[in-house]
Amino acid sequence: MSEAELKHIAEDYKWGFADDVEPELKLKGLSEDVVRAISEAKGEPGWLLEFRLKALEIYFQKPWPTWGPDLSELRRQMGDFYYYVKPPVRDEARSWDEVPDEIRRTYEKLGIPEAEQKVLAGVGAQYDSEMVYHSIKEELEKKGVIFKSIEDGIKEHEELFRRYFAKVVPPTDNKFAALNSALFSGGSFVYVPPGVDVEVPLQAYFRVNTEGFGQFERTLIIIDKGAKAHYIEGCTAPIYTTEALHTGVIEIVVMEGAESRYTTIQNWPVNMYNLVTQRALVHENAYHMWLDGNLGSKVTMKYPSSVLKGRGARSEILSIAFAGDGQHLDTGGKLIFAAPDTSGSIVSKSISKGEGRSSYRGLIKVPQKAERAKVNVECDALLINEASKTDTYPYMEIASETASVGHEATVSRLADDQIFYLTTRGIPEDEAAALIVRGFIEPVAKELPLEFAVELNRLIELEMEGSVG
């Protein structure tokens, strides 16, 4: 990316600032020595080091994807990234006053402490490779709710952690799940005891600061029988002329009769490769929703998935993707029906502007044993101008004769007559286009908590500036 392109993009991406923070430790290159050094720096038990080393072997054995966005440039750069960057923080803080000033100011700019006070039950804040802050409301802690960094989850709840870790997304799942399994650092460990209702969301915020960096957070969430919880994830990073890499793994277990929601608002700069594996295992009469918002990045490959394991399990996947110049967002969802009387839906909304490209990629799998399964898929694409592109790749494997399956897809362009009508009512052209786009994504955006829906609409308005006319 040229300096001129960088300057133009930085004018619209206010989160592109970088901090003058000197890391305590930086590890470059992809090797067994780096994996061992990460494990040693964290003081991990022997079984976890063995897990990491095996995962690294699997990564090198797994082929690169031959489908989806072009990853050839990333492949050439894999030896050049910093794979672990430890910020200058001794212990994970429980109060913002304990966070070093230069790092705390970053999260204040992002509005995280303010949001914690107003609308959140707990917050985790990751800076490069480590969680620098984690806190949960005292009343939830008294009820047995666990909201820790992944590292503290391993140390303080090892038996519970090992029972579920890498069971939903094993290293063998795909090349980037293996890479994360070898290098993971940071992320959250959440456990909600039976019957406990976490009425206000928990949130984790992932911030990248170092140039040429790969971030590999890992999150494990267990919602026990009859419990309820909502987890929100946000992400930003500086804009650099060099590429960066984000490869996360999210594992969620939703036990019998429980309800779970996972919301992602990822707003990466255009130098980021965003390659993420997210999967939920949904048990009998349980419910899980993925609400997935994707803005920015150079390339995104992310397909939230649910395995409906128990009778009566339900899941919804709601997805938004906005691709601008130089971006390819390949997103969608997967629903695997593994029990009778299960149901699910996917609603995917994508917007492409400039020379951006958005792709829907989805999988519906209904084996013969999933009797009376019900599923509906709706994927809609909106093209802002002539150069923008969209693709749809729906895969359906239906073996049950009693399944009810529906699929519809639409592609439309931003209509001149709609813009004209709104401008004749005194609405400027850019605002008119943003208004139409907000209406297009409304079925997904309305599921967001109010504060985050307002933020998403504001981000859409920023993306739409200068898109028409």
pLDDT one-digit tens code per residue, 444-453: 778 876 566 6
Q: Are 116 and 264 found together in one domain?
A: yes
Q: Is residue 252 part of a domain?
A: yes
Residue 143 has pLDDT above 80, yes or no: yes
Q: How distant, in Å, are the alpha carbons of 10, 218, 239, 255, 350 from that of 205? A: 21, 13, 18, 26, 24
Q: Is residue 163 part of a domain?
A: yes
Among 240, 274, 302, give the residue marking a domain's end.
Answer: 302
Among 272, 302, 332, give the residue marking a domain's end.
Answer: 302
383 contacts 411 by C-beta, under 8 angstroms: yes
DSSP 101: H
**CA gap 197, 226 in Å, rounded:** 8
**CA gap 341, 313 in Å, rounded:** 8
Q: Which of 99, 186, 98, 201 lies closest to 140, judged by CA?
A: 201
The dihedral formed by the CA atoms of 135, 315, 392 and 464, expressed in degrees to the nearest 10: -40
Residue 434 has pLDDT above 80, yes or no: no
Q: Are 39 and 176 found together in one domain?
A: yes
Among 249, 275, 302, give the residue marking a domain's end.
Answer: 302
Give bridge partners of residue 240 from the DSSP assignment: none
Residue 20 has pLDDT above 90, yes or no: no
Q: Is residue 81 part of a domain?
A: yes
**CA gap 281, 284 in Å, rounded:** 10
Q: Is residue 417 part of a domain?
A: no
pLDDT digits (tens, 9 = 90+) for 339-380: 999 999 999 999 998 899 999 999 999 999 999 999 999 999
**CA gap 138, 142 in Å, rounded:** 6
Q: Is residue 326 part of a domain?
A: no
Higher pLDDT, 145 or 444: 145
Q: Is residue 395 part of a domain?
A: no
Q: Is residue 262 part of a domain?
A: yes
Q: Is residue 361 part of a domain?
A: no
pLDDT at 422: 81
Range of the domain at 42: 3-302
Q: What is the pTM of this model?
A: 0.91
DSSP 386: T
Total domains in the chain come to 2
Residue 57 has pLDDT above 80, yes or no: yes
pLDDT at 2: 47
The mean predicted confidence, pLDDT, of the chain is: 88
pLDDT at 386: 87
Per-residue confidence at 8, pLDDT binned at 50, 70, 90?
very low
